[in-house]
């Protein structure tokens, strides 16, 4: 398949006051930019130099919007609505595309697939990379409190948003988990699981917070998990969170 006939991929970065993170993220896209990659940056009306940095890279950014929003998932929805791609992926400010991103995607992108789920490399604060790979989803053994498909490693058909709706902006940290659960339970999907990292994901985002653990507990209950089990997992996550922070502070 030639580049002219290749399905368009829209990469969406949402950002707010992230001048120290955005440049490296955009640079990773610039290096991988192809005719079949559309790059969209949605800014929440930042007060720092975020917009200035985006302006410096305007020739590599196909769509740039800077305006007030109602949080990260509202911004992500805006990106989806303006995108032109057959497939959509999200790249957080601070995260990076791997060096062979375009080759990996080109080998796997196929309009017969609804979802292509790659892995990610979680970058710890000490610089160590921890690979996290997608796990096969089975409706018979569904755990709605678990992220089977790492969100930064997902390529999803844009038409899925037409079928099941956009992200729920009432969530502040776990809207991606809720949307993925909605997608997995509502549709009969063709999913490709690719056990290779697509993105370097920076530790410490909104998905790794007490607020996110609390929201994921609520999402799990909505999707059929018992409150007792969901609360028990939530307690274990909180304990691990504080223990990790305690040992990190002892090392520093």
One pLDDT digit (tens) per residue for the chain, 252 residues = 446 667 899 999 999 999 999 999 999 999 999 999 999 999 999 999 999 999 999 999 999 999 999 999 999 999 999 999 999 999 999 999 999 999 999 999 888 899 999 999 999 888 899 999 999 998 888 999 999 999 999 999 999 999 999 999 999 999 999 999 999 999 899 999 999 999 999 987 665 677 778 888 999 899 988 888 787 777 777 777 666 665 655 565
Would strands 154-157 and 115-123 be described as parallel, antiparallel, or unpaired?
A: antiparallel
**Closest alpha carbon to 203 in 117, 95, 99, 118:** 95
> Domain 3-205 is classified in which CATH homologous superfamily?
Spore Coat Polysaccharide Biosynthesis Protein SpsA; Chain A (3.90.550.10)
Question: Count of residues for the chain?
Answer: 252
d(CA 134, CA 193): 6
Q: Of 204, 212, 222, 214, whose CA–CA distance to 173 is shortest? A: 212
Helices (H), 13-71: 19-32, 50-56
Work out the angle at residue 178's Cα, subtended by the Cα atoms of residues 226 and 154, and round it to the nearest 5 degrees: 130
- For position 5, what pLDDT does the model report? 66
Per-domain boundaries in the chain: 3-205
Within 8 A by CB and 6+ apart from 236, the residues are: none
């Amino acid at each position: 398949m030639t580049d002219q006939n290749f399905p368009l991929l829209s990469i969406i970065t949402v950002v707010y006051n992230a001048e120290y993170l955005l440049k490296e993220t955009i640079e990773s896209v610039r290096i991988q930019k192809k005719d079949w990659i559309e790059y969209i940056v949605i800014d929440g009306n930042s007060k720092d130099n975020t917009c200035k940095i985006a302006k410096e890279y305007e020739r590599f950014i196909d769509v740039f919007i800077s305006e007030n929003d109602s949080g990260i998932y509202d911004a992500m929805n805006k990106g989806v609505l303006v995108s032109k791609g057959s497939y959509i992926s999200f790249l957080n400010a601070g995260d990076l595309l791997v060096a062979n991103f375009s080759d990996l995607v080109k080998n796997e992108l196929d309009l017969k697939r609804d979802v292509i789920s790659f892995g990610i490399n979680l970058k710890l604060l000490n610089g160590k990379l921890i690979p996290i790979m997608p796990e096969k989803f089975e409706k018979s053994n569904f755990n709605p409190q678990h992220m089977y498909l790492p969100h930064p490693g997902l390529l999803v058909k844009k038409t899925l948003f037409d079928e099941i709706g956009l992200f729920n902006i009432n969530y502040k940290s776990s809207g991606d988990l809720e949307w993925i659960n909605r997608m997995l339970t509502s549709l009969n999907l063709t999913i490709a699981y690719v056990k290779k990292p697509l993105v370097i994901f920076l530790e410490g985002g909104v998905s790794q917070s007490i607020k996110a653990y609390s929201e994921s507990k609520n999402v799990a209950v909505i999707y059929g998990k018992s409150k007792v089990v969901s609360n028990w997992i939530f307690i274990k996550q909180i304990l691990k969170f504080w223990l990790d922070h305690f040992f990190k502070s002892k090392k520093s």
